[in-house]
Structure 1
Amino acid sequence: MTQNKKEAILQTLQHDGILPLFYHPDFEVAKAVLKAAYDGGSRIFEFTNRGEGALEVFKPLVAYAKAELPGLWLGIGTVYDALTAKVFIDNGADFVVQPIFNAAVGTVCQEAGIPWFPGVSTLTEIYNARLSGADIVKLFPGDVLGSKFIKAIKGPMSDARIVVTGGVKPTHESLKEWFDAGAYAVGLGSNLFPKDLIETGNFEQITGLVRDSLAIAANVRQR
């Protein structure tokens, strides 16, 4: 992967402002949700590694995205160790997201030339993650740390690119709070993909939620 492609992923994340994240053990469901998010305008998506069969769902999801969803960057989340990162990278992951900070995962991502988003929750972790080559840091859990934490971080580390995950809602009030605080982007999971809509197969409504969320994000960041 070229540096230009790597930067393109980061620019897509900044442009969208929202990183959808989702896991389901059934490929057809995962495929439908991915398509719904894409139809809603999202061009970056995190499939989370939260089940034993995650890799077997991820493989055909990558193939589907490459064949049917042009311009989409598909990454893998909930990665704890370097071996897992390498396996998913070898199977087409465009970027790797962690709930924790493990520098060994960063090394694997750098060798592959793809973005690495380690999870952090302290100023020291942010500093060490950036020192280890992190392109983005994932602030988690956002609802526990709060938006004031980002504002404080932006003092000594004004150039830190922070994605907030955990407790963010696809509403004007929630998104405005986080972007006003200085978030580079926000991660949205269950609040963007409600369980009842998944169970009933109401993917058109999910498309609407994604579309509305992207529009809100664009609006609040213009002010």
Structure 2
Amino acid sequence: MTDVFGPHRVVPVVVLDDPGRADDLGAALAAGGLPVAEVTFRSPDAPAVLRRMADREDLVVGAGTVLTAEQVDLAHRSGARFVVSPGLGPDVVRRCQQLDLPVLPGVSTATEVMQALSLGVDLVKFFPAEPSGGLPAVSALADAFRQVRFVPTGGITAARAPDYLAHPAVAAVGGTWMVPPALLKAGRWEEVAALCAAAVAATAADPVVVPVTS
């Protein structure tokens, strides 16, 4: 059990193709009071983006959209502090466990939650959150699995995030609303910092340390 995200209950999900913008993005996250990020492995340059951000001492950065054990190794070499996967891949989970790298696998059904528990994981990503039933689905799963906590991600907006975070089984939420790809591409870092600050303000009333099981 590792407290990876610290007191932050919102995890920016970053889609950035240009490693040259990684430092500016990291500075914007830190300036906005949200120095944590999941860098998605959706482009060939994503590991380089992750490495640039991971080199900063003021950020906690992990790898997202990790689909294979080989990508786990790449994320680990690139400095990832945690791994997030859209689904529940036993090979991904086991490789993370071998590396003592906290892992957050994705689930959307009771069967997948049971499989996660069988692998020793009790904090899971609920994905895609809104298309998979949203908060009512999280509540139903939480009623059945009282020992599990969820990080809903997928389709969550600034307006919807507080409703999710009010649920006792929700440890954090992930989203792109504070790091929209259009702003990152345009280099509008002050706006990114402002969106991060707004996300922090919306969740500061009830800070929770988010545990990630490795």
Aligned to 1:75, which of 62, 84, 91? 62
Q: State the Cα distance separating 1:168 from its structure 2 match.
A: 0.9
Q: 2:4 aligns with which of 4, 9, 32?
A: 9
Q: 1:74 to 1:199 in 2, by over 3 A?
A: closer
Provide TM-score, normalisation by structure 2. 0.88
Tell me the alpha carbon deviations over residues 126-156 of structure 1, each in whole angstroms, 9 at most, x when there is no partner: 1111221225211111111210011111112
Percent identity reads 28
Instruction: List gaps (5 residues or longer) in structure 1.
Output: 1-5
Query: 1:1-223, aligned counterparts within 5 Å?
Result: 7-10=2-5, 12=6, 15-63=7-55, 65-66=56-57, 69=58, 72-144=59-131, 145-171=133-159, 174-181=160-167, 182-189=169-176, 191-219=177-205
Per-residue deviation, residues 12-31 of structure 1 (Å, max 9, x unmatched) = 1xx21101110211112232
Amino acid at match of 1:153: L
Structure with the larger RCO, 1 or 2 (CA within 8 Å, 6+ apart): 2
What is the DSSP-based 3-state SS (H/G/I as helix, E as strand, rest coil) of the residue aligned with 1:50?
coil
Number of residue pairs the alignment of both structures matches: 206
CA RMSD of aligned residues (A): 1.9
Normalised by the size of structure 1, how large is the TM-score? 0.85
Letter in 2 for 1:208: A
Query: CA-to-partner distance for each residue in 1:59-116, whole Å, 9 max, x for gaps?
Result: 23322x13xx2xx221000000111101211221110000111011111111111210
Name the structure with the higher helix share.
Answer: 1
Aligned residue type for 2:190 = E
